[in-house]
Amino acid sequence: MSDQILHECGIAMIRLRKPLSYYIEKYGPLYAMNKMYILMEKQHNRGQDGAGVANIKLDVESGHRYISRYRSIKAQPVAHLFKKIGKKFKKAQKEGKDKFKNERWLKENVAFSGELWLGHLRYGTHGQNSIENVHPFLRQNNWRSRNLVMAGNFNMTNVDELFELLVDLGQHPKEKVDTVTVMEKIGHFLDEEVQGIFEKYKDKFSNREVSDIIENELNIQRLLRRACKDFDGGYTMAGMTGSGSAFVVRDPNGIRPAYYYANDEVVVVASEKPAIKTAFNVDYNQIDEIKPGHALVIDKNGEYSQHSIVPTAEKTSCSFERIYFSRGNDPDIYKERKQLGRLLVPQVLRAVNFDIKNTVFSYIPNTAETAFYGLMAGIEDYLIAKQKDIIIDKKPSVDSLEEILSFRPRVEKLVLKDVKLRTFITDDEHRDEMVAHVYDTTYEVIRKGIDTLVVIDDSIVRGTTLEKSILKMLDRLEPKKIVVVSSAPQIRYPDCYGIDMSKMGEFVAFRAMISLLKETGKDYLLGEVYEKCTRARGHQSQKNYVQNLYESFTYDEISSKISEIVRPADMKADLEVIFQTVENLHKAIPLHSGDWYFTGNYPTPGGMKVVNRSYVNYMEGKLVRAY
């Protein structure tokens, strides 16, 4: 989208199901490392703030390291990680020579040579971009089965409650953040599970023997049921124990994505299907979705199964994943994005007064290209229908038959992003000037004062880039009118499940609604809703009171006011901003109904609590997150 927002981390997991010697002989010692690199690199769209990878070796003798972990916040963190790991293998190959292909020697002498891998890509929706914030996190213990490595794509709405639960359990958490609270809560019940098995067998076997029994009897699904029952948020969390068990657990609404593939050699998990498809060259129909409210559990022996962890709720998986965040080469996502564009055709035709001959179509940014194809396919269908009316049904036309048959909609690449230009100047006086030059345009293709420009975007969040850069730039082309089309509906409410959209006052749709309330003398409603939200503070409210504010205006009225807000003061061309309707969103993406940022219909009580708190923050002038 033209407005930059941070969003959606990514996970990757690989479990080799056969002895390491099998892969060394069949594929070479670098098999797992290479597969993990591809799996993470093909999801780099999900995290450019940092990346981390951890590896566990199975059945290593005491006295040898069995957990390896690297994390990076370099400019290209995935490449940086695997360059470091690759150096270790190169050094081992040079020093070990023939022993480099010996399983035992490799595991005893080379880090990252184990059977179990966990990777993470980080987009930091809040907090500093420091190495300490990069997953995987490691909870260490001298008992192999008590070690816990975790990484996730999640945001919890009830961090305060989870923190207090940890304190009630007798812990002393070092931070009040969801990454720490989630790991420590799961770690607590891992400790209890291990301790329970120890108590069961301690009088029958030696401690060394009991340790082996624990690793084989560890009931991951039971500890997850105990740990996850209080979580409120969107999450896909992956974990590994030091003894080689692993899991990936998904929230009950399926908000955050998770997919897996398994055969007799591997079990693979990723946040996106195309990564698995590319890394392992499998058909899409072989890749399954982890069910909402379930965990994919892999035991120490490599056997896997799905287990219900928390009661499954209505599936409301994130529609923004489909509109923008996930890679568009997933065939289902590609079709959905094209359909989003196609469904906008009636609105676009009205905006250009059905004058396609004097209209130029384009898109911003590159991720909107697929929706653009859908829009143009719909425009072409409309033209075919008009040709049929004239040629077959003999309806009158001012154009000749040759002109009618040869006419094609005009398509141009008008907006280009200069990826090398960074808005690094921080003082307000110069920031807008820099933002205005992040994008560039193609000149001398627009007929001045005649053509209308139709430019499609993925979505419009704040409208800042439109106002400060894109509209100013397009207006220099001197078109008669500019129509900006959003393939997503109006973003009215904050997200609290993994997208950096928590400050309500920044949304251009919210600002438009506030302006309309003041212009129509209904601004008294602001205070009424503020009182309701204040009274609801501290409670798990089942109602989003902010929805009341939007009920006074139609969808088109909000869109018209947005057009006024984003219009630069010196703009000469007419301007109209069009948004996808929520109804058409669900037509295009029927299996991913999470739409709370558009409708305010949050799937969890914590979501309702966050939206009301976010409004209170706005009214009190607090520029902070609401969760």
**Residue closest to 581 by CA, chosen among 589, 592, 569:** 589
Q: What is the pLDDT of residues 330-368, one digit of tens each?
A: 999 999 999 999 999 999 999 999 999 999 999 987 789
Q: Which two tokens stand for residue 557?
A: 């009225």
Helices 178-201 and 159-168, axial angle in degrees (round to 10)? 30
> Is the bond into 365 cis (omega within 30 degrees of 0)?
yes
Residue 377 has pLDDT above 90, yes or no: yes
Return the number of other C-beta atoms located less than 10 Å from residue 498's C-beta.
26
Residue 5 has pLDDT above 70, yes or no: no
CB 371 within 8 A of CB 340: yes
Residue 416 bridge partners (DSSP): 440
Name the CA radius of gyration of the chain, rounded. Answer: 27
Torsion sign across C-alpha atoms 260, 261, 267, 271: negative
Residue 166 has pLDDT above 90, yes or no: no
Torsion of CA 211, 215, 221, 222, to 10 degrees: -20
Q: What is residue 424's predicted lDDT score, i.e. its pLDDT?
A: 41
Task: Name the E strands within 127-258.
Answer: 137-139, 148-156, 233-241, 246-250
Q: What is residue 132's predicted lDDT score, i.e. its pLDDT?
A: 80
CB 442 within 8 A of CB 414: yes
Q: Left if phi > 0, otherwise alpha if psi is -120 to 50, otherwise beta: which for 360?
A: beta
Q: pLDDT category, 428, cuts 50, 70, 90?
A: very low
- pTM recorded for the entire structure: 0.90
Task: For residue 501, give every residue at least 6 positions away whose Cβ sits within 8 Å of its Cβ, in sequence order, or none.
Answer: 5, 461, 491, 494, 495, 507, 597
Torsion sign across C-alpha atoms 561, 562, 568, 574: negative
Q: Which two tokens stand for residue 371?
A: 């929706």
Percentage, residues of the chain above pLDDT 90: 70
Q: pLDDT category, 426, cuts 50, 70, 90?
A: very low
